[in-house]
Structure 1
Amino acid sequence: MSRFPNTILLTRVGGFYESYFSQAPLLSSILGIKLANRRWAGQDVPMAGFPVFQLEKYLKILVLDKGLLVAISEEFRQDNEVHQPNGDIVRRVNRVVSPGTLVHENFLDPFVNNFIVGVSAHVQPSSGDAQQEVRYGLAWLDVGTADFNTAVCQDFTSLRDEIARIGPREVVIDGASIDAGQVDGVHPDISSMRQTSSRVKLDLSELLTHQNIYVSYFAPSSPSSSSSPSTSSSPSTPQTSNQPSITDTQLAQPPTTAVHTSPLDPIESSVVTTLLSYLQTRLLDSSLTTTSPLTSTPPSHQPLSSTMQIDAHTLAALEIRSSSNFAYTSPSFTASSPLTTSARGSLFSVIRRTVTKGGTRLLAQWLCNPSTSIPVINARLDLVQLFHNRKELRQDIRGVLRGKAGDVSRVLQRLVSRKVTGDVGDLLEVRDAIGAMTRVEELITNEIEFIGADQGKEKETLQSLIGKFHDLRQLARSLGDAIDERVIALRLERQESLANQVQDIAAGSRETRFNSARNKISKLGMGSSSCCIKADKRRCWLHSHDRMPHFDAKLVNSSAVSNKLMAILCLFASSWVKVT
């Protein structure tokens, strides 16, 4: 716990995640679970826990609703003891969960990007008494889709507006170049950096125009880094922590990013280093680091001059992404609906006709960052006109995408991160997505063959579109040959059969308790004229029809009283009495 200050530590113990010591009462209070005591080393140790299958349910409460960091300690076996049931178990923290590092959780809204944004600052050299100019570097990443971008903001206003357009769930402040002052919660120990005159002061209440954005401080070269949730309002008294941090060893050698970010501005390279180093301290046991396929190509530089600069207030006033009828509190994470509550009534909700999750995310980005490039605008208009004129082609392509395309970006990221659960299904989804893209390519190719000579513009547009496709049919065949779907179907049948057996056993157990209660009453000499039995999913109840009906008796547990006492209560009270 000392290595992970300011976090809730959940330790995997068999089929449960447990919390101990001073964190147990807090966890019990937040989640509404039972607080117990365990005898250890002659002392009573508070503990609280929940089953493994409820992890995502409680992560949502702790991380998204309460704004807490959660460190997850999993069980691992030694490589030579993997197949030995009695082998030694080693526990280590493999992940520290924050809002911006949620990757595969089912409660994430697949129609909304879950961006984490890094911010750094650079003071421009000035001569004389001239006011120093400050430039800001931005890097934003969706860990679940590998959507990675950078930009340079020339002033504070453009920085604020760009963050509003991105709509992040978490912001990472480079503590080596920025002093953001006080925030709600725990303030990092960056007192040693305050002596550096090059650090730029930022007002979080001005920078973050929306509430519920998690703020993390981080400095790759710092011996200690911590993070804290912030709503950028009502700043509290700063607190410092001198406890050792997980970054003591991990940041001794900051990740090399020169290979990946050489085309970028130096300030962009700096913020990319900060953001990726921060992710290394969160995704400890994942391949989502600087050496993974996630960052094997440079992040995409987004020149602000190529898009319309919509400021934060205009973005809200025009109701582009969210309606004023609903308070916008950054992207919602409700997976049950493609439109979040705040999006209903917005421009996005009105024009959205996408059939894939990735297309929905891209549309939201385009609306918040309209292109100012004439060639890009004309190319999009040509495609819109073409599909408007060719209704059959449009409907055929939409049908293919709706049925088989899936969300291949997130699937590929799950495979990259080596997430064991669901790998077979993910591979099949990749195969199906390749098949869908191949079918779309065939539809476009067939359409090109039937285009007349007088429709050269449409033919040119389709040829330009089809040139972006890659032939991945061999990969799809390899995936199909490597996976026997009959085995998967058989496994699902067995799982369904097992679930039905468990359900039958549970139903039989209720019936057994019901019949047992009848037998007990019969042995006590109580006829059906004086009482009756009622059963529900968990209990059997005995009800008396007579004998002082005005009595208001309380429920009685059979483990605490005898059957004879239960019979007496039943005779003299008009109530339901538990007899199981």
Structure 2
Amino acid sequence: MALTAVRPAADITPAPGLDPVGATPMMAQYIEIKAANPDCLLFYRMGDFYELFFADAEIASRALGIVLTKRGKHAGSEIPMCGVPVERSDDYLNRLIALGHRVAVCEQTEDPAEAKKRGPKSVVRREVVRLVTPGTITEDRLLDPARANLLLAIGRRKTGEGAVAYGLAAVDISTGRFSLSEVPAGDLAGAIARHDPREIVLSEAIHADPALTRIWQESRAAIVPLAQAELEPAAAERRLREQYGVSTLDGFGQFTRAEIAAAGAALLYIARTQLAARPPLAIPTREDPGATLAIDAATRANLELTRTLSGERTGSLLATIDRTVTANGARLLAEHLAGPLTNLEAIARRHEAVAHLVENGPLRAGLRDALARAPDLARALSRTGLGRAGPRDLAAIRDGLAAAADLEARLSAVPDLPEDLVRLAGHLEQVDADLIATLTAALADELPLSRRDGGFVRPGYHPEIDEARILGQDSRKVIAALQARYAEQTGCRTLRIKHNNLLGYFIEVPQSIGEACLKGLQSEFVHRQTMVDAMRFTSVELGALESKISGAADRALALEAAVFDDLTARILAGAETIAEVAEALAGLDVAASHAELAVELDWRRPVVDDSLSFVVVGGRHPVVEAALRRAGEPFIANDCDLSGDTRGRIRLITGPNMGGKSTFLRQNALIAVLAQMGAFVPAAEARIGRIDRLFSRVGAADDLARGQSTFMVEMVETAAILNQATRRSLVILDEIGRGTATFDGLSIAWACLEHLHEVNACRALFATHFHELTALGDRLARLENATLKVAEHRDGVVFLHEVVPGIAERSYGLQVARLAGLPGSVVARAGSILKSLEKAERGRPARARIDDLPLFAALAPPPPPEPPPEDPLGALLDAIDPDALTPREALDALYRLKRQRAGRG
């Protein structure tokens, strides 16, 4: 399978003429391995460096800013080369992965000494041990601890009448998460945006579909198309069965063909990138359709839920509300925010858990203190299952389980816990105390990063390791102790134990007493050599000691490796339970985070029910309020009521720029998101009827990369809203129609407002500068007008940021222009032009223009055209046949026409 990325930072292709014929043995080996991994940068291990050659070296040199050198020649040309130290390779890998590259890590799999035995020109065996790709990394130093590292695979099936549905398999091998879902074609972009994957795997056919081109262009993820022949449905199901060692998938639930196809594609890609390693994935769970609030990609971007429009986490809603103290909790919080719930019972359970922790401050503080001591249990467990764990990962599992035991003890002492906290505490009860004790006894206080470094087993845990260490570290003391004992036994104070490369360790005594020593200890000493002035002996004990000393370091490492393998096996035996504990820790962290936030910022519990209510009292924008608080300024809270069946389902908001319209619109959308994700909200009170879809069209930007203007982008996003919004949806629209000519924009905004009212019948906030639209408040039953209060002061204005019923009298554009620093002459000239335009408009007020047009609600065919007014002159002309008139008759006809005209005059 060719792992071809659609959008890598640079195309990776072998340099022309890479033929192993004529190459040195080492370079021939490199070319052969590179040919098997053509679409990856090849990290080729040579001693303490990973070297890159040919095109790979040129790409890596530019990407990493490292020196490009040369090494020999191939096919008559010098070979470009660059390299990175093995001990710092993770840093370089991180940079390459961030740029969209994939890297094949090629290690030496043979001792150089063994290679030499095959001949002086033999090359050390090397093999690619793994492919490092954006969606399959597991190393802590390459991962963002607060962000899930998802690989998203996509499958497709026909649903009848030409329609298709897409299956999504979201896999995070750094934690073992595995979920499946299916969405209709229209929701695919929104589903991808919700998962926010690092890498997307799909068939070549799906990738080549013209209808989906825009999705791939907009995605931040690396895109990897796979050959269709490798993604047969039967093969996909077989991979799933083999992954979990089952003969049927019935026990996992009912999956659609598209979901199974996506799961199979994900497992295929993971197998190809991880090679021999098999990640311990959780049993796939199926997300029910409609279980989460549908938010399309444009709305997510407009509302800046998890990142700002510039792509930064800082300044987003997620960064503002995050009070988690664990990495696993931070990732779960982001997942909850990306997919707020629609199930009322589940939402209520989350709110109840948060409320309990808000009211019980000591419990909340104790939980957060214990959680802060819990390392990233989920990722440490995943690395253990992949065989990539180090001693610190084992310690992380130990400390995570110990924190879980502490949390369970705290929760068990609290009566009347809410259902969610009871459920989470139940998972913590499964902690294996014996495993914690074993890991505590086995692991030293100071731990190396890699098991290969040794020294991680605690002294006293394994006697043979202690002995080997003593021999390796204190061999002189051991030899001196043996020498003293032999000297005492023989009575020879000049007895010495020495060492040379020929004999190794030996006992040496003066020749004058050598025979006496030999006679006295014949059973122990064996004569080795007689010198002019000395005799040399050995003993069985000394020979055994020499063997131990010479292999002490290697033996200590081997014994520690065995201990490591034993500890790993014990951990993996309880992997399923440990994974549940990790999930429980994350759930507790999120609930405690929401509670801490609510107490800190005075957020209140919302009511989410099955009505069509939307009442927010004293609502605030969480991100803007946080920014104002840092500046020492207050935030002006505002109410919002979109609940009425007769009035107010749509609020039409007018007012000046800088008055706060966009802030008001966004804050109500964010309050709805927070409420349905299970958090408290920045408001004095909130009652929200369950929302199924959230749409936001706020702000404008060109999309020149796709050849779309500001207005085109605006219309595309507005079209999606009008085509998909339901009665349960919440729609936020700001300045529709402002990107085109005034009357074009006014007519589009007018028609959109009527469509929302009559067809979508949804709850909506509609901000506009077209004051003419406010007259619709008397004609659309469920529409109410609101405006932002402004206080005029001398030649300027003060924006009060207060939303009140009514209509804005002016737009105050000139005042805003003056505040922005436009030259005074420009502002003055604009003022005179504005007066002229307003004077011309007074004879045709907005009320008359609105009344002249029927409502969109009528949806009736246009009336027949009215008959034209009588035209006597036209009738006379129609009666004349010029070709049949004589000159005299033509002159008479002309006189008749003149008389007729004179008579009309």
TM-score (norm 1): 0.64
Distance in structure 2 (CA, Å) of the matches to 1:95 and 1:207: 29
Give a deviation string over 1:119-178, Cα, whole Å, max 9, x none: 111123x4xxxx41111110011121111111011x222111110111111111123xx3
Of 379, 385, 388, 1:410 maps to 379
The residue number in structure 1 matching 2:308 is 323
Alignment of 1:351 with 2:321, yes or no, is yes
Q: CA deviation at 1:353?
A: 1.1
Residue pair 2:392, 2:447 contacting (<8 A) in 1 also: no
The equivalent residue for 1:115 is 150
Is contact 1:163-1:208 (8 Å) kept? Answer: no
Shift of residue 397, structure 1, vs aligned partner: 0.8
2:132 aligned residue (94, 97, 117): 97
Partner of 2:365: 395
Give, in angstroms, the shift of residue 436 of structure 1: 0.5
Q: What residue identity is the alignment partner of 1:26?
A: I
SS at match of 1:305: coil
SS of equivalent to 2:194: helix
For structure 1, which runs of at least 5 residues remain unmatched after alignment? 182-200, 224-250, 329-341, 449-455, 493-580
- Give 1:315 deviation, angstroms: 1.7
User: Counterparts of 1:3 and 1:253 in 2: how far apart (Å)?
Assistant: 27
Contact (CA 8 Å) 1:56, 1:105: kept in 2 or not?
no
What one-letter code is carried by the residue in structure 2 that aligns with 1:472?
Answer: D
The equivalent residue for 1:265 is 256
**Residues 439 and 253 from structure 1, CA distance in 2 versus in 1: closer, same or farther, beyond 3 angstroms?**
closer
Instruction: Tell me the distance in 1 between the aligned counterparts of 2:96 and 2:89.
Output: 10
In the TM superposition, residue 362 of structure 1 has moved relative to its aligned partner by 0.6
Conserved in 1, the CA contact under 8 Å of 2:236 and 2:265?
A: no
Residues 418-473 of structure 1, C-alpha deviations (whole Å, 9 max, x = no match): 115xx22111111111110111111112223xxxxxxx5x4766544422321321
Q: Which residue of 2 aligns with 1:180?
A: 207
The yes-or-no answer on 1:382 pairing with 2:417 is no
SS in 2 for 1:413: helix
1: distance between equivalents of 2:112 and 2:348?
Answer: 57
For 1:558-573, list aligned pairs within 5 A: none
More helix by share: 2
Distance 1:459 1:164 in 2: 33
- What is the CA deviation profile of residues 317-373 of structure 1, one whole-angstrom value per residue up to 9, with x for unaligned ones? 22221233xx23xxxxxxxxxxxxx22222212221111111111111111111111
Corresponding residue of 2:427 = 468
Match of 1:163 in 2: 192
Q: Choose from 427, 431, 442 the match for 1:482.
A: 442
Higher Rg of the two aligned structures: 2
Q: How does 1:62-73 map to 2 (within 5 A)?
A: 62-65=96-99, 67-73=100-106
Task: State the secondary structure of the residue aligned to 1:343.
Answer: coil
Q: Which residue of 2 aligns with 1:540?
A: none
Q: In the aligned structure 2, how far is the partner of 1:461 from the partner of 1:303? A: 20
Name the residue aligned to 1:279. Answer: 270
| Cα distance in structure 2, aligned partners of 1:9 and 1:487 | 31
Within-5 A mapping of 1:245-256: 255-256=239-240
The residue aligned with 1:425 is: 392
Query: Which one has more relative contact order, counting CA pairs under 8 Å at least 6 apart?
Result: 1
Residue identity matched to 1:71: A
CA contact (8 A) 1:70 1:98 kept: yes
Residue in 1 that maps onto 2:229: 221
Aligned counterpart, 1:8: 41
The answer (yes or no) to whether the contact 1:220–1:277 under 8 Å persists in 2 is no
Check 1:488–1:68 CA distance in 2 against 1; reply closer, same or farther (3 A cut): closer
- What's the Cα RMSD here? 3.2
- Tell me the distance in 2 between the aligned counterparts of 1:60 and 1:459: 42
CA positional deviation for 1:312: 1.5
The runs of at least 4 aligned residues of structure 1 exceeding 6 Å deviation read 78-82, 251-254, 486-490
| Percent identity of equivalent pairs | 29
In the alignment, is the contact (CA less than 8 A) between 1:180 and 1:203 conserved in 2? no
**Is the 1:115–1:168 contact (alpha carbons within 8 Å) kept by the matching residues of 2?**
yes
Figure out how many residues of one structure are paired with residues of the other and give that number.
Answer: 404
Change (3 A) 1:40 1:54: same
CA distance in 2, matches of 1:459, 1:95: 46
Letter matched to residue 255 of structure 1: R
Judged with a 3 Å threshold, the aligned counterparts in structure 2 of structure 1 residues 72 and 320 are, in CA distance, closer, same or farther, namely: same
Post-superposition shift, 1:89? 3.6
Query: How far off its partner does 1:411 sit?
Result: 0.5
| Cα deviation, residue 216, structure 1 | 0.2
CA distance in 2, matches of 1:19, 1:487: 32
Aligned residue identity for 1:468: H
2:65 corresponds, among 18, 32, 43, to: 32
Tell me how far apart the structure 2 counterparts of residues 317 and 202 of structure 1 sit (CA, whole Å). 26
Summarize the Cα distance change of 1:323–1:47 in structure 2 as closer, same or farther, 3 Å threshold. closer
Distance 1:256 1:386, change over 3 A: closer
